Structures are given as structure tokens and as C-alpha cells.
Chains A and B, each alone.
Chain A
Amino acid sequence: MAVAFTVNGTAQSVDVDANTPLLWVVREHLKLTGTKFGCGSGLCGACTVHVNGKAVRSCQTTMSEVAGKKVTTIEGLSATSSHPLQKAWVAEQVPQCGYCQSGQIMQAAELLTKTKQPSREQIVAHMDGNICRCGTYPRIVRAIQRAAREG
């Protein structure tokens, strides 16, 4: 069946089974490969995107759930890597292998939308579902604090 939705401001229609996870449509059908596959079970956060502004695990979100909705992936967070989090991520030199970082940034972006000046505890609570195997956690915390500070 065709599912119509919006990705990064562009209307899309894809012909897939309604139960297909959004992750695979974004990555393999629409070739927006910044969103990563990590676990397929909502356990690691690498696939985090926004649906109508809310951070979701795209591997656990079916196409039927996003029909008619607005999806934002890392590619759509800003046109020129100018989102405060992206700037802060560079300033703090957060990524190492980088594989989880799209998901980390998308998860963090939701936090800053809801809470402009999050405490350290709020940051940790919000980010705890996102695994970084390179262990960039201290830098992620610093980058979120920097983004909150510098805007």
C-alpha cells in the first residue's frame, strides 16, 4: 500500500506494507542513511527521529503510524549543520565512530525543545536510552549544556 507522509519538509509516498518500520523506509527507500540501525528493538536509540516533533525509535514505528505525519531525520534537523546541538557537537568534538550520534542528537533536540535549560540529571534521564559504545557520554552532556547555553 502507498503511505503518504512528510520527511524533512518534503511530501513522500512510499509503496510498502503498513507494518514496515519507518527506519527501513527512511534508510533504504528514501536513502536518508543518517538514521542508523543499531538493535531493531528500541534498545539503543541509534534510529531516533522526530515524528511531529516527538523523538521516536524509527525501528519501532510502523509506516501506518506515520501516515500523514511529519518526520524529521538528522538530515532535516538543519540545512547547514547549524542547529545549536550540531554546532555544540562539533565544538565539544563529541563523535568518535559517530554511528550513534544522529540518534543522540535527535534525542537531545527533543529535550531542548521541551526544556530550554536542562539540569545534568534531566539530561541523563532523557539520554539514558541512547547507547554510545565509544563512550562519548561525558562529551554529549557537555555538548547539550553548551547548546542550551549558547543557543
Chain B
Amino acid sequence: MNKPITNLDVSRRGFVKGAAGLTFSFALSGALLGRPSEAYAAGGTKLNAWVTIAADNTITILCPTSEMGQGVLTSLPLILAEELDADWSKVKCELAPGNPKLFGGAHKMFPGAQVTLASVSVPAYYMPLRTAGAQARKVLLDNVAAEWKVPVAELTTDKSTVIHAKSKRRISYGDVVKFAKVPDELPKIAEGDLKKSSQFKLIGRKDIKRVDVPSKVNGTAKYGIDVQVPGMVYASLLHAPIDGVKVESVNADDVKKIKGVTHVLSLPFGVAVVADTVEASRLGRFALNVKWDVSGAKAAPFDSEKAKEEYASKAKDPNAEAMEAFKTGDADKALAGAAKTLEAVYWSEHTYHAQMEPMNAVAKVSDDGQSAEIWVGTQVQPLASAVVAGVLKTTPDKIKINPQLLGGGFGRRIWPDAPVQAAVIANIVKKPVKLMLTREDDIMAARPRPMTHHVMKAGLDDKKSLVSWHHRIVAENVDAVAAPPRFAATKGRDYIGWVGMSQDFYKIPNLKADAIREQRGMRVHAWRGIGAGYNKFVSESFLDEVAAARGVDPLDFRLELTKDQPRAQAVIKAVAEMSNYKKKRPGRGLGIAFSDYHDTLTAGVAEVSVDKATGKIKVHNYWIAVDPGLVIQPENAQAQIESAIVYGLSGALSEELSMKGGAIQQSNFNDYHVMRMSDMPELHIKIIATNNPPTGMGEVGIPTVAPAIGNAVAQLTGKRLRHLPMSSDRVKKALA
């Protein structure tokens, strides 16, 4: 007999843990009850469900995480539909409400959480959704078996139909729910009840299209910014340049003279202009003249250039407190005994998410200020309700979040600042408020990837083997700002900021990664690819420096370091073959890099040329081989890799925020440069799908991009670029 899935070894299979509370129910009325999420939120019915089956054979499956372009609105319901044996053409996918008890995932990093971040949607829900699908199918089968008085073992399913081959009877799921009874206690599903991957009919199929695409070519897709509710007014915001400032003076009287402007509100996060029309709110925002009192702002002294000097001196200070991040063997001792040592210093600048939809939210607050309804595209619905509740001094259950599509997330929509701001303003003006940040304020309100400083040390023994590796990072800790409970629980480990420093797939006998914490009040946050973005740039670039010192080709060096890791070897060899890596190209450099970010293995090769006069790097081709384990939706997986490469290229070559007086100096796309079509290389992607459990996909294309480019430039010019972004100015200087 199969063991119930809830009893499996959760330490090894943390992902099944969340399957415990899975339930579903049918709309027995035979008609769809509208959006299940609304039916659920209305309360009163037992629709605590993942899946709803209607008499017309329509199956509605809830997607627990947010759709921000990564395709979960298709891929997650597809997983459930697979085990349900659903007719995919009759499946409707809907966003689930925020309710971790029902819709929490089972990722080892975020057990029980309903979050859309860190590329965890598919890994977190792969087992829970399969279990839910199998459970729903079992209820259907049990009902048919009872109705037809046949053993359940004689029944099979295909495309939303239950089949009894012996009697040649068939019945559609829609017809089953007309008589089906859902037991109070839902059937337990064991691992053996699930399909083998060879039995999959939907997972892995190349012709499965994204369900949201049709609405995104005709203007009907609804994002947070598209919401309008009756009686609403508009708010714009001159965002505070840094946290902790106060308004010293504001020309409120002048701004209130603008036709339509009703309020000018000095608030902790900025000055809001509320108006009857959107155009008046914006006119008012741009007419504001605010003087800030920065005396209470911790970040006020922050200056990017000055801070760099201080970071660098702290890194060298023998008395600076460095926290151990990762350790193997004794790196210091091995370095001291090394025949040859190398040392290099690396940097990365603050970067901005630049999601295309500026931050916004619509909020409606009750007259007593104790409950609210929010319309917003957010990466973490439960966080939005918790934080809004905290600000309104009420409880999260009193905050109803109506989830919308996200016009890009990339980490920016984890923290719910816009919902909070909209709720605060709505609570003051006692009307529903639609808050939309201008692009200028969206940048001012940025929650950037941190500026980082790195000191790298390596030691080779007399046989030129890499025997010691020391990666030191000096940076503001992202977990301290973005995940304070985890930061406290780990006594100050910066999970987000340190990802990419541990080199789990390289055989290095003595490794040390440590971190010096800066605390300067910067609002640093998760940015697509998190720490791997800069840490892999640093470590994979430095690895090439070591290879050069050793006189070995960077490809061969990586193959040697991963010789006990067949999956790593496979992606490295694949990308070498795809790019014909060892073939020299006149005027062009080739660089390789490897990454293990979030358990997905990637290897990338960049082919570049450099305009020595301007310092501009041109990436001509980029090849990547990816092993993400099982692939749910190959077409979308391909698209995610393409997307992350472009994001990585943009961060590698041009993106940079600079701060003066703590405030961001950039204001719009004229001075914050993101990749455009003319910057694009040819992309060549190979996804090596395996039957291993699915790992992250949405960000994994990023980490290899920057180091592959830097390594290619070094191969071409002999000059090592050690500062992100590798912008024209820096390259020109390095080549001079």
C-alpha cells in the first residue's frame, strides 16, 4: 500500500509538505459561480478550492502566484490539469486570492508561503498541484465507480472523460459533477498515485501556449493601473527622496489652485496631490516645490562615490567585523601556504528594476478606517494585506486584495509600498483613491539591488591546483531590509545578498566567503537574479583570472573543477559545443561562465567586440545551455531564458543608479539606460530537460551574462573589467 504523501520524508522532499491541507470542491450547481476567487472571498460557501468543474465541462483552476510575465497563470494550472487528466482546451485559469493556508507553496526556502519571487513558483507548487489534481480525479473516479457499480480500478480517464473500457461507457467530468458528492474528508494521495513523467500528456508539450497572451495583444489584459472603481479620485506623489525625511515646506496653497486638485498631503513617504482627474493630480505633482528636512534620514549622507572609498577601506581593515557566509576547509591557511596567490577587487553599482508599469494601487478604505479593499498587482498578496493592515492598525483579514496582472515585477512588487500609500491617502480623503507614481517618482522610490564591493583572493599550489578561494563582500544586507524576520532568525545572514558565493559545484578544497555589513539606510531589495547577479559576475570573472594565472583555458578549468558534477559538466560542454567555443574569431572575444543559481544549472558564452574609441561593448552572440530539471512548458521556458538574458545584458552593460545626499540622481529612461532592440545580440538557447524535480526558471538566465561578457572582453583585449555595469566610460578607462 502506498504511503500517504503527507508522511513522506519532508526534509528531503520539502516540497510535499504543503500538500497536507489541499482540498478542492466542485460547483455542484452545474454552473460556474463566477470567478472562484470572488466566490471564495465572498465567504460562506465551501469553495476553498483549487479546481472547479462545471456541468458544461469547463474546469477552472486557480493559480496561487502572481502573473508578472513569467507564465505561471498557464504553467501552474497545467500541472494540476495533468494529474486531473483534464481537457486543456476547456480549462480556465484564474488568479487565487491571497490565503497561504489554502494556497501556500512547499518550497524549501519558503514553506507554506504564497509568494511570487526567487523563481520558486513551479518548484514550490509542482507537488502540491499534482496532488490536488490527482485528488480531484480520484473523487470523480470514486463517484463514477459508485454510480456505475464497477471497481474503481477498472476506470481510466482521458481529456476530462471517465472511461470504463469493459462496458465501453464514457462520461464527461461535467456530467459527473451533476451527481458527484465530494466527501468531507478528501482522499489521500500517495506518490505512487501520481503519473510517471512518461505518462504526461500536457507537461512538457511544446504546443501549449500561454493563456494570457491573447489578452495582451488587444488591450484587454487588466493590470493594477487599469483599475477604476466608482467614486474614485486620483493621487500622484512626489516621492520622498529617502526614507525618514520630513516635509519642511511645501507650496500647497499654490498647488491647490490648480483646477481639480483637492488635497496636498504631506506624508511620511512624500507629498501626495489628490485631484478629481488624473491630469490635475499630475499637474499638481509637477507643480510641487518641496523642501525636505533630512535631519532624521539615515541615508542622507550617502554619496555613491564617497561610499565606495569607505567600502574599500573597510574591506581591507583587519579589525572589520566579517561574518562567515560559507566555508569549506581552511582558506586562510591554504592561502598562506600557496605557491602563487592572486587578489582582485570588484564592484557593482545600485540598479533599478525599471518594471514598465510604474507603481500604483487603487484603495478603498471603510469610513472607520478599519478595513480596506485594494486592487493591485503584487508579488506577495499576503504581505500586502499584512502591511496595509499594520498601517491602518487593523488585522490582515480586514484587507481584501484584488489581485491584478503585473506590468513587470522583477522583485520590485514584493514590497507593497504602493498599496500602503494608496490606503493611507484613501483613509484621509475618505474616497477610493487611484494612486499612480510618475516614472520619476518610481525611480525615486526605487528599491535597488545593492552597491557591492568584493575582494577576491585565490591560492594555487605548486602543481598549480586551485587550493584556496576567498570571496569577501562589503554591502548593505538585503535580507535586513527585505526579509527582516529571516534576517533575525539567521542572526544576520543575508540570504538574498550572498547567493552565488558558495561555489557548490566547484571542487575547491578550501573556500571562504564572508561579508562585511554596511548599514547606511539604503532601501536595498531583491532584483531579478538577486545576489547571483553580482556574485557570479565577480566569482566567474575571477575564476578566469585564476585560469589565466594558471595558463589553462577557462573552459577546461571549469570542466576540471566540475569533474564530479555530471549535470554541471553537461551544460558547460553543451554551451561550448553550441558556441564552437575554441574557434577564434578575428576582432571578437569569447567568454564563458557557469552558474548554479537556485539549483538550475546554466553555462553561457558571450561573443563580443569592443569599440576602443567609445568604450562600447557590442555583444554579437550569446549562447546558453540550461538544465532546470523537468520542464513544464518548453515554449515559455525558452521565453523566460531569453527574457533573463536581456535583463542580464542590460544590468551588465548599462544600468546604474547613483546617489547623492542619499537621493537617486536618475529620473527616467533618458538617464537610466535599459536594453533596447538595437542592443540585442543573437540568442542561442538550449534547454536540457531532465526528469529531476523542476527548479527555478524565471531568473536563471541572468547570472552568467555579465561574467561571460567580462571574460570575453578580457580574452579580446587583455584587460579585465571588474566593475558593473561595464559601461562605455568604464571600458574606455580600462582600455586606456
Query: Which one of B277, B356, B436, B683 contacts A133 once the chains associate, using CB atoms below 8 Å?
Result: B356
Q: Which residues of B contact A105 (CB under 8 A)?
A: 217
- B653 interfacial by beta-carbon distance below 8 Å: no
Q: Is the CB of B357 within 8 A of A24?
A: no
- B6 interfacial by beta-carbon distance below 8 Å: no
With A36-B225, A93-B210 as given contacts, are A128 and B677 in contact (CB-CB < 8 Å)? yes
- Complex Cα–Cα for A77 and B726 (A): 41
Q: Which residues of A contact B69 (CB under 8 A)?
A: 95-98, 134
Q: Is the CB of B669 within 8 A of A136?
A: no
With A97-B406, A97-B408, A101-B217 as given contacts, are A38 and B356 in contact (CB-CB < 8 Å)? yes
- B642 interfacial by beta-carbon distance below 8 Å: yes
Q: Is the CB of A24 within 8 A of B642?
A: no
Q: Which residues of B contact A134 (CB under 8 A)?
A: 69, 408, 643, 646
With A40-B439, A131-B674 as given contacts, are A98 and B407 in contact (CB-CB < 8 Å)? yes
Nearest CB in chain A: distance from B592 CB, A: 21
- B670 interfacial by beta-carbon distance below 8 Å: yes
- Complex Cα–Cα for A81 and B405 (A): 20
Q: Which residues of B contact A66 (CB under 8 A)?
A: none
Q: Is the CB of B356 within 8 A of A99?
A: yes
Q: Which residues of A contact B436 (CB under 8 A)?
A: 37
List residues of B (118-153) whose CB comes within 8 Å of A's CBs.
none
- Complex Cα–Cα for A93 and B408 (A): 17
Of the A-B pairs whose beta carbons lie under 8 Å apart in the complex, a sample of 24, sorted by A's number, is A34-B220, A34-B221, A38-B439, A44-B356, A89-B213, A90-B213, A93-B209, A94-B213, A95-B210, A96-B643, A97-B69, A97-B356, A97-B407, A98-B405, A99-B223, A99-B357, A99-B408, A102-B219, A137-B675, A137-B676, A137-B680, A138-B683, A139-B642, A141-B677
Q: Is the CB of B647 within 8 A of A135?
A: yes
With A97-B68, A134-B643 as given contacts, are A124 and B214 in contact (CB-CB < 8 Å)? no
Q: Which residues of A contact B216 (CB under 8 A)?
A: 95, 98, 101
Interface flags, A87-124, vs B, CB<8A=1, else 0: 00110011111111110010000000000000000011
Interface flags, A62-93, vs B, CB<8A=1, else 0: 00000000000111011001000110011001
- A35 interfacial by beta-carbon distance below 8 Å: yes
The residue of chain B having its C-beta at the shortest distance from the C-beta of A38 within the complex is B356
- B660 interfacial by beta-carbon distance below 8 Å: no
Q: Is the CB of A136 within 8 A of B218?
A: no
Closest 4 interchain pairs by CB? A34-B219, A135-B646, A97-B69, A99-B407
Q: Is the CB of B219 within 8 A of A131?
A: no
- A16 interfacial by beta-carbon distance below 8 Å: yes
- Complex Cα–Cα for A130 and B214 (A): 20
Q: Is the CB of A95 within 8 A of B213?
A: yes
- A55 interfacial by beta-carbon distance below 8 Å: no
- B668 interfacial by beta-carbon distance below 8 Å: yes
Known: A90-B209, A131-B674, A134-B646. 15 other contacts (CB 8 A): A34-B220, A34-B221, A36-B407, A37-B225, A38-B439, A43-B669, A89-B217, A97-B356, A99-B407, A125-B678, A127-B677, A133-B354, A133-B408, A135-B646, A137-B676
- Complex Cα–Cα for A74 and B219 (A): 6
Query: Which one of B218, B226, B643 contacts A135 once the chains associate, using CB atoms below 8 Å?
Result: B643
Q: Is the CB of A96 within 8 A of B639?
A: yes
- B635 interfacial by beta-carbon distance below 8 Å: yes
The residue of chain B having its C-beta at the shortest distance from the C-beta of A130 within the complex is B677
Q: Which residues of B contact A124 (CB under 8 A)?
A: 677-678
- Complex Cα–Cα for A100 and B225 (A): 13
- A61 interfacial by beta-carbon distance below 8 Å: no
- B278 interfacial by beta-carbon distance below 8 Å: yes
- Complex Cα–Cα for A118 and B407 (A): 29
Q: Which residues of B contact A44 (CB under 8 A)?
A: 356, 669
Q: Is the CB of A133 within 8 A of B674?
A: yes
